[in-house]
Amino acid sequence: MSLLVVGSVALDSVETPFGSRDDVLGGSATYFSAAASLLTKVSVVGVVGDDFPMADLQFLRDRGVSLDGLDKVAGRTFRWKGKYGFDLNAAQTLDTQLNVFEKFEPKLSPQARKAERIFLGNIDPELQLRVLEQAENPRLVCADTMNFWISGKRAALQKLLPRVDVLMVNDGEVRQLAGESNVLQAARAAMRMGAKAVVVKRGEYGALLVTSENTFFSPAFPIAEVVDPTGAGDSFAGGFLGLLDRLDASDLSALRQATVMGSTIASFTVEQFSLDRLRDLDLGQVRRRFDAFRALVHFEELPAHFG
């Protein structure tokens, strides 16, 4: 079993109604690997500048994450600055500085090429395709994207989709991609474009898994004190693929469990700023909340004589 993530490692400045933090650890590959490494071994491919505090990633190394594919080059690290109001589902982007990430060219090592499961973080679909051209024979490919790529690189995205086993997007993105107002119809349209399955991330409203066989919905685990939703979607992806890799499975039952696991780990992420909650999280805590999740959604059948 082996899991590879290709995406951003960044420094974020975030403001929410509950506080603010400047130049804290962020990026899709960082959140993904922090979540997935609770369940399995992960390798990261990305790039940072020479201003990046590599010591901040030591907790990932301690958890067994391979950072051999994380290049450190001259220049400034990718930075994002955002602000949330009380509607924590929507971030207002105040500043984006691509810096060294602007010229990121993913290069897979001989070992990374053999990865059985790959998560393509939210990067240019042309780069996502180049990653797959280097991969030898992945058993499962999961890809994220965003509105910017859907409108600006649609041709490349349409070329990518037939090579994607699970497309993982939010409801606005899947609507834009499909030109459909209904989320379920939009997910099915994305599958007609080539994706074998679609996971629609809906923030505090949970996640929808759509396959050719079935539709499955997982609510978000109810959290009384949400501090910072940044990275929740990538943490969801890490939990999702991390469990599939640990189970070495991708059947419908495993996909359903993975959807709940994604929601479970994402629920920890939002409890503190940046990756602070994920740093100290352990598998025992994850397992207890996963079990609590099962109890949360369980209900009995109606009696046979009803109606």
Residue 239, CA atoms < 13 Å, CB-side half-sphere = 30
Binning pLDDT at 50, 70 and 90, where does residue 160 land? very high
Is residue 258, in this structure, part of any structural domain at all? yes
Is residue 274, in this structure, part of any structural domain at all? yes
Largest CA distance in the chain: 72
The DSSP secondary-structure symbol of 101 reads: G
User: Do the beta carbons of residue 136 and residue 171 sit within 8 Å?
Assistant: no
Phi, psi of 24 (to 5 degrees): -100, 165
Is residue 303, in this structure, part of any structural domain at all? no
Give 51-99 pLDDT, tens digit per residue: 999 999 999 999 999 999 999 999 999 999 999 998 887 788 999 999 9
Is residue 305, in this structure, part of any structural domain at all? no
Is residue 302, in this structure, part of any structural domain at all? no
Write down the H helix ranges in the chain: 28-36, 58-62, 125-134, 147-152, 154-160, 171-178, 183-192, 232-247, 252-269, 276-279, 283-297
Binning pLDDT at 50, 70 and 90, where does residue 299 land? confident
How many domains in the chain? Answer: 1
Question: What distance in Å separates the CA atoms of residue 119 and residue 141, rounded to the nearest whole number?
Answer: 6
Is residue 83, in this structure, part of any structural domain at all? yes
Is residue 292, in this structure, part of any structural domain at all? yes
Give 248-267 pLDDT, tens digit per residue: 999 999 999 999 999 999 99
The CATH number assigned to the domain holding 35 equals 3.40.1190.20
Separation of CA 238 from chain center: 6
Phi, psi of 249 (to 5 degrees): -150, 160
Mean pLDDT of 186-203: 96
| Domain span at 173 | 3-297
